[in-house]
Structure 1
Amino acid sequence: MDKMIAMLVLLILKPGSVSAGWSVTFENPNPCALKGSSVQLRCSYNYRDGETVKRTAWYKGELINGTWTRVALSDLPSYQNRFKYLGDQQHDCGLAIDDLQDNDTGHYYFRFDTQTLGRRSKESVYLSVTELSARVYPDRVRAGGTVTLECRTSCQLPNTVWFKDGHPVAKPVFQAQAEDSGNYSCAVEGQESVLSDSVALDFQYPPLNVSVEISYPGHLTEGSSVNLSCSSAANPAADNYTWYWASVSGSSSLLQVGSGQVLSLPSVEASHTGIYICQARNPLGQYRSTEVLLTAGDADINRVIIFVGIGVCIGLLLLLVIIWAWSQRCSSAVDKEENSHDYENIRIA
């Protein structure tokens, strides 16, 4: 009892003596890490010779009912299976936290207990959890325009890398071409598995590859219906379609005969025969399709054409039969001549 009283008196007289040789040092007191990634808090601790460390623990500062409280990570449900003590019971007190979330931002404290006293760090590690924010400027561009990619965070991070639709991007500044259209995201170099939200680059161009499709290809009879559809590749999409017609002879100029993506001819007449062209347009320009020929005529004429065609086919077939029969007859005559020989007996002296 006397020894205990003496020790208490010593503590009162020399309040700093107990802490002499006790310390906790943080390697980086203000780390910053990406949401979804992992972070390691490096620290070391010292204590008086002769002491033996019995227990170590990390705490997080929480404001509970208006009171600043240090709560052990093991007692916080949100940290279950996400933190790991990397240190030992000698001098290393490292801590790892995985799958970082926004609410992991805050102050972290370390404590170790020996067989005599416990020591909790007065200072703390303040961890900032941040997210990457990708930006493409401008987000709409035409061919040859300069595009700049920016990757932003709330704190300083190492070099960043870029991806377009999952494929690496060589440079963050480039001259845009059609193939550059897509979704871009950035990541910290070495942590490519943690990507920012993607942002789109909208490459704009006038109509290209304008083409016309006819719903009833071939020769049309009068009274039948047909639709001519126009399509093109454009960004933004073509918002204006104009149809032109010209005579087959080419002696007349182009005449505008309709508008809209589909030109409908509900009752075809002979006068509809001619060359059709579609012109597609968007705010960036316009482009015309190649010429498409549409022919229309009387149904009786069509039947005559069909009968004539059948007659020609039958005539050709008969001619082939006659030629074949003649060739067979000639071949038979030759064989007969070769097989009929006259022999004369000659006496040999």
Structure 2
Amino acid sequence: MFYIRILIQLSVSAAVSSLSVSYSPKSICAFENSSVDFSCTFDYPYWHKVEVSKWFKPRKDQKQDGSQQGMCVYHNDAAEIHERYINRTTYANQDKNCSLKLHNVSRKDIGKYFFRVETDHYWGKYTGPGGIDLNIAVLPFRVTLNTQNTKREIHEGDSVTLTCNTENCTPTQEAFIWFKNGLLLPQATKQTLRFSSVSHDDFGNYSCGLKNSDTTSTIKTLLDVRYRPQNVQIINFPSKEIEEGDSLTLNCKSNANPALTNYTWFKISKTNTSYIGYGSKYSLETVSQKDAGRYICVAMNDVGSQNSTVIELKVKEHSRLDFLFIATTVLLLGIAVTLIIFCIMKRRKQIASKKLPAEKTPTVAPTEEIYENLRNTHKSEENSTNLTYADLMLPPASSDRPQYNSQEDMTVIYSILSDREKTKTFEQI
């Protein structure tokens, strides 16, 4: 009896040891709505006949070691397949090939999958241990940053690693692509991007994805490299001499992270360096000879500072000839303005003198007054028959006109009167 038991145990051990299942790979990461391949091979004794071949997935409340079968993903009897997996699988259906393709995977499919074979022998039932672990990658891709700096502030010279991944897992079956500020980095094809000594040139936004896929990330990660001011320079500086009297504004520019907090200006005269101002701009409203010299700008932020290159300002002095020319021009211009004003005022006086009042009677000479009185008297005699004499207006003795013989004047006057009376007497007759 004892020997019979030993023979039975040896027979069972031989049968079980000849049953085997091999999985490849041990774990799979896939995108949602994609298809995954569970590569599988199995073996059994040649005198056995396979009656059942099946894939199953333990439920969450069951042991995940394959000892509890759970939901049937595939079964050679279609009636045994769980409703969640109906029409979603393709079985290899070849001798000793147990590979399975699962279509349209989702997060509900996350878990372990096992293959089980059952033969016509009582001891010919076997589940491949370990199974295949399926995980689903949740888009989009994200870039995670790792650094040895415990303060989480990245400075120039630090070691930095960027990793391209998705939530839950990251598919690695294809090459990766990397972008910096939206531009492709052709040399970066791995899941990780390493900087052994990061510099300010590496500052920027990074994103990643799979090379032969449309699943690139939409979330950008900033590699925020903090660095002191770089490329400090003074711009708007004249390329040649500047003339006295001109205005000049100098600008100090630099790249830095974090932003610049201070600009300081210095002037170098021989061995003396003096502070002249602060701010990104330094202005000279009126340049003079004392402004000639060398200038330097110092830019500063929280990380450090850097000087600009020293520039020299040359001021061109006005020559004596230029001064005389300017003075002569100003003098001639003043004379011209004075003459114009004088001519305008003289013209106005002439116009004013020609405009006399309407009631003013022109001044006449004494002799002209006498003859005018005589004419008026004659007109009066013609208008009045009773008028027999005329008033005479003689000029005063102090008149400037030439003195005439009074006797001759009286003779002329009486002669005129005698003639008039004759005429008048004749008219009356």
TM-score (norm 1): 0.50
TM-score (norm 2): 0.42
More strand as a share of residues:
1
Structure whose alpha-carbon radius of gyration is higher: 2
Higher RCO (CA-CA < 8 Å; seq separation 6+):
1
